[in-house]
Amino acid sequence: MNELFKGKKALIVGGGIAGLEVANQLAETGVTVHLIEKTNVIGGHVSQWYQVFPDRDLADNIVNNLKNKTKSKVNFHFSTFITKSEKNKNDYIVELSDGESIVADTIILATGFDVFNAAIKEEYGYSIYHNVITSVELEKKLKNKSKILTTTSKEPENIAFIHCVGSRDEKVNHRYCSKVCCATAVKQAIELSEIFPNAQIFCFYMDLRMFDRYFEELYYEAQIKHKIKFIRGRLSEVAENQDETLVLKTEDTLSGKPLKLTIDMLVLMVGMEAPRDNEHIIKTLNLEKSTDSFLRNKDEHLNKNISNQEGIFLAGTCTGPKTISETIADARSAATEVMKYLNKQ
């Protein structure tokens, strides 16, 4: 192993893919890495996903790869959070909830995101009507290979995906786009079309943001091969029939007419939001939030991973929504910033 930074110590907060990748990169250069994770599992949200867009690789492959790279090189602290932090010259003296105290040269935050609580958009009927589920719940069903049935135990014949639930919506204080939901919806629509080849599947979108490499191909495959119907219009409200089917009301904005559609199952594409427990860490480490409630970085171009505190760096979705490949790239860029900083110490 490289011993360039032997004797240097880094504390990483968050054991999702961003935290693991930073840990992996730093440990490679001889830094002693401590990683604290608030839950008792590693891999964060990605460990709950089934296949990832655009290539439909298994999410488990990504997590296991990072797990194997880090397991013998990183000191993991599970079910742990920071209780206190003090700066002494260039050192951070951090107390952890497990009683341990760590003196670190640098702290890297990889605290990730929370999934938007769909029940807040009451008009979509989540937790009120039967047969309204979130994209996260569907992903878990796909991962567990559990049978997907309506609450009346029927195979769904008409399924609708609603994009932008909790994103691009001032009413829930989230003006930003969550970036990953469009591609996830198209991916999940394809997966459901493979399970139910005779089902009619609809995607209701405001804009389809297929921005990254191979995303457009995924969209094209959904149209041509799976005959997924894309309707431009934001769902305004849902009502439930006696038989537990759902009636959607939207505007078909391309024909300029209101549209009514009865379906068996509704999937809400929930977006990302800043984690609620970030408040605690923001206070403890004197960090700043941006207008979208995610952590503030110095700028969006050349200093994406630099926080307002010297020696504290930011990696992954703690600075806003990112895809998995963007998160990994961001984690590597954070690790580079950390190495530059450690080199100067």
Give contact residues for other proteins (rule: CB under 8 A).
220, 223-224, 227, 229, 232, 252, 254-255, 257-262
Cβ nearer to other proteins, comparing 213 with 257? 257
Cβ nearer to other proteins, comparing 236 with 303? 236
Half-sphere exposure of 258 (CA within 13 A, CB side): 6
What is the C-alpha end-to-end distance of the chain, expressed in Å?
Answer: 21
Cβ nearer to other proteins, comparing 161 with 313? 161
Cβ nearer to other proteins, comparing 151 with 255? 255
Cβ nearer to other proteins, comparing 188 with 245? 245
CB of 223 to other proteins, least distance (A): 5
CB of 324 to other proteins, least distance (A): 26
CB of 9 to other proteins, least distance (A): 52
CB of 202 to other proteins, least distance (A): 9
CB of 250 to other proteins, least distance (A): 10
Backbone phi, then psi, for 163, in 5-degree steps?
A: -80, 165
Cβ nearer to other proteins, comparing 257 with 340? 257
Cβ nearer to other proteins, comparing 216 with 279? 216
CB of 21 to other proteins, least distance (A): 35
Cβ nearer to other proteins, comparing 103 with 211? 211
CB of 227 to other proteins, least distance (A): 6
CB of 241 to other proteins, least distance (A): 11
